[in-house]
Chain A
Amino acid sequence: AQSVTQLDSHVSVSEGTPVLLRCNYSSSYSPSLFWYVQHPNKGLQLLLKYTSAATLVKGINGFEAEFKKSETSFHLTKPSAHMSDAAEYFCVVTQRETGFQKLVFGTGTRLLVSP
């Protein structure tokens, strides 16, 4: 079975400060991991993905994540938050046994950015 746990339901930061959204995963086999962002009334957008290549993954809008197998973690970071980053973020896992097609989502972390 595969699952992800997002450790914070809400994270509040000030504009210009670093962002850290935490995610731990559980997978029987080598997983592929993703971070998606969901803005209000918009579809889910892929931020970045890990698929067994480099463990430090760079995504869009300055986000990056590091795959740490020993810690079963895949935390999302950004050096400096922008007001437009305020949204819901989902950590997602999938694996080869489902053809990498069945995405399993975490419960989400709401990022709040204050001026």
Chain B
Amino acid sequence: DAGVTQSPTHLIKTRGQQVTLRCSPKSGHDTVSWYQQALGQGPQFIFQYYEEEERQRGNFPDRFSGHQFPNYSSELNVNALLLGDSALYLCASSLLGEQYFGPGTRLTVT
């Protein structure tokens, strides 16, 4: 079992650009959640996808959007990047319970 995988591992973007991060859930999991972890902070909930729809959303602007595909994989899109969007982006998958986290994508905005 590969567990939760995320790509890419690292990414460098310029302010104003757009970025797409990808997540493949653990086998058998149907729910994907995304978290942002700024340096020195705990992860913050962005949103959760279930059955290809956004089910819950945290306190993040509309620049943050997502998508879930029929195979349960998911993408996180961030538009109009700001310096403050630099963080580790974590994906977690679950099936009616415990969330399993991937290793994250480190996004640096310059």
> Interface on A for B, CB 8 Å cutoff?
36, 41-46, 49, 90, 98-108
Contact = CB atoms under 8 A, between A and B. Distances in A.
A103 B90 contact: no
A102 B56 contact: yes
Given A101-B56, A102-B45, A103-B45, A43 B103 contact: yes
A46 B48 CA distance: 19
A43 B44 contact: no
A104 B100 CA distance: 15
Interface of B: 3-4, 31, 33, 35, 40-45, 48, 55-56, 58, 90, 92, 94, 97-104
A102 B58 contact: yes
B41 A107 contact: yes
B58 A101 contact: no
B44 A105 contact: yes
A29 B58 CA distance: 19
A103 B43 CA distance: 9
A90 B48 contact: no
